[in-house]
Structure 1
Amino acid sequence: MKTDISADSAPAKPRKYARGEARREQILAEAVRFFAEVGFEGQTRELAKRVGISHTALYRHFENKEALVEAVYKRVYLDRWNPDWDSLVTDRSRPLEHRLQDFYVQYAERVFEYDWVRIFMFSGLMENGLTTRYLTIVRDKVILPVLEELAEQGIIADDADSHAEHEEALWALHGGIFYIAIRRYVYRFGAQEHSEDFIRKTVSHYLSDLRRSASPAKP
């Protein structure tokens, strides 16, 4: 006697779309490691070999190398940006020093990694626009809001010349903290894990010096 098997009880066939997404994810993950290691001059033919697929198969998932690089940018930079940082920096219910300290501690935990740092450096050398696009995000979401906070608290003058001068100082703070990661992953000199205590002290010293320079000299 034959037994009818309903469509619901039959094993589901793997969807072609799902397999395609898995392959695309595999290519993207390997591309991140590949470009971090060799830079963006690395050939996609070599990348395909690492993935274990043909060069033609790679371009079934990414239209061209530019599209692949754009996907790497989104994965490494945009996907790691925590949207909560926007409100963290501008939350006036907390002292500015604590906000900046918490931001940079969290930022270091998220971005001080081999892939992130080396791809960032290679992007700048290639002048492919990725570094500029990312730094624009940092400027819009961190640097400019902090300038507004400093002006609001009367620590700096609220005029264009003062903002321009202190924007450079904020970039120096940002770059100084990021230099920990550059030493570790680019120069490979004195490589150390980033220290939360060091980051907090660096922010504290920056604000202390700024407040001291803003205070009128005692007679």
Structure 2
Amino acid sequence: MTITSIMSRGEPIVRPRAARLAGDVRRAQIITAACQFFAENGFSGPTRDLAASIGVTQALLYRYFDSKTDLIDAVFAEVFREHWSVGALERFEASAGAPMVDRVAEVYGHMLPRMTPTATRLFFRAGLDAYAEPIYRSASKSLPLWNAMLAEWRREEGLPTLAGKPMLEGERMLMIALHNAMTMIRVREHVFRTPRWLSDADEIRQISETQDAGIRVVLRRLHAGEASERRCAIAHNPSLEAA
């Protein structure tokens, strides 16, 4: 890093200036810094402040990104490069025959450690700043796992297969509620920063037991026609409302 001196009221001000880097290296540096910057400041944070934190000019940022939206898209592309759901479906399928409580706990015990503080805060910021697209993309990555779990719960409860009766709206909400209950472990830790008294394993297990019992009750009601028509409507867009 080099030093640039300018005069202000007769006194020199020394500012750090980032060293020259190759284009792909500089772009990667900007994305890495932007992940942290937007996680801490939200997506309304000025790009000039982001540039200053790296030691480059705002104009340089826009040599690599056409707009702030383009930069935000690159940030989420980095987050999705190794999404926390990678390998989760395979783990669930490999545990076939075990109790559902154990299988759900195993899957989320694998997923939650992959939710880093920066990634967790970025997704929370996305919701607060009405930047919905990454939330939809993340949910679409989790959907195959949700389908597999729901299919197993239906099988154990003697209900129709998903091939015979597609996911109901009420079922979609059950899967989202399960996922949100699990991810709130990380939100409380990385966003709210509240004290935790249970280990990941204990908390995941407790949520698995609670959700398993409740999901079975509601599934039977949904398929028995006891729920409202709205809750039993086929979910046309099951990728919404969860990270």
- TM-score grouping bracket, smaller chain normalisation: 0.7 to 0.9
Q: Provide the residue aligned with 1:189 in structure 2.
A: 194
For residues 164 and 155 of structure 1, do their structure 2 counterparts lie closer, same or farther at Cα, with a shift above 3 Å needed? farther
Identical amino acids, percent of aligned pairs: 25
C-alpha contact 2:33 2:54 (8 A) present in aligned 1: yes
The structure with more strand, counted as a fraction of residues: 2
Residue 108 of structure 1, aligned match among 101, 105, 112 = 112
Q: Provide the residue aligned with 1:99 in structure 2.
A: 103
Q: Provide the residue aligned with 1:68 in structure 2.
A: 71
Q: Provide the residue aligned with 1:9 in structure 2.
A: none
Q: Provide the residue aligned with 1:137 in structure 2.
A: 141
Q: Provide the residue aligned with 2:25 in structure 1.
A: 22
1: distance between equivalents of 2:167 and 2:60?
A: 54
2: distance between equivalents of 1:67 and 1:79?
A: 20
Number of equivalent positions: 195
Amino acid at match of 2:46: Q
Matches within 5 A, 1:110-125: 110-111=114-115, 113-125=116-128
C-alpha contact 2:65 2:71 (8 A) present in aligned 1: yes
Residue 150 of structure 2, aligned match among 127, 147, 162 = 147
Matches within 5 A, 1:6-17: none
Q: Which moved more, 1:124-133 or 1:154-163?
A: 154-163
Q: When the two structures are superposed, what TM-score results if normalisation uses the length of structure 2?
A: 0.69
Amino acid at match of 2:135: T
Give the superposition deviation at 1:39.
0.4
- Equivalent position SS for 2:22: helix
C-alpha contact 1:147 1:163 (8 A) present in aligned 2: no
- Listed one character per residue, the Cα deviations across residues 113-152 of structure 1 (whole Å, up to 9, x for unaligned) are 32112111111122222222222322x2222221112222
Give the superposition deviation at 1:173.
1.7
Structure 2 residues without counterparts, runs of 5 or longer? 1-20, 221-243
Residue 42 of structure 1, aligned match among 20, 42, 45 = 45
Give the superposition deviation at 1:93.
3.4
Structure 1 residues without counterparts, runs of 5 or longer? 1-17, 215-219
- 1:171 matched to 2:176: yes
Q: Provide the residue aligned with 1:85 in structure 2.
A: 88
The structure with more helix, counted as a fraction of residues: 1
C-alpha contact 1:27 1:51 (8 A) present in aligned 2: yes
Amino acid at match of 1:166: E
Q: Provide the residue aligned with 2:212 in structure 1.
A: 207
C-alpha contact 2:85 2:141 (8 A) present in aligned 1: no
Q: When the two structures are superposed, what TM-score results if normalisation uses the length of structure 1?
A: 0.76
| Cα RMSD, aligned residues only | 2.6
- Equivalent position SS for 1:116: helix
2: distance between equivalents of 1:160 and 1:104?
A: 27
- Equivalent position SS for 1:83: coil
Which stretches of structure 1, 4 residues or longer, exceed 4 Å deviation after superposition?
Answer: 155-162, 191-194, 209-214
For residues 156 and 116 of structure 1, do their structure 2 counterparts lie closer, same or farther at Cα, with a shift above 3 Å needed? farther
C-alpha contact 1:104 1:199 (8 A) present in aligned 2: yes
Q: Provide the residue aligned with 1:12 in structure 2.
A: none
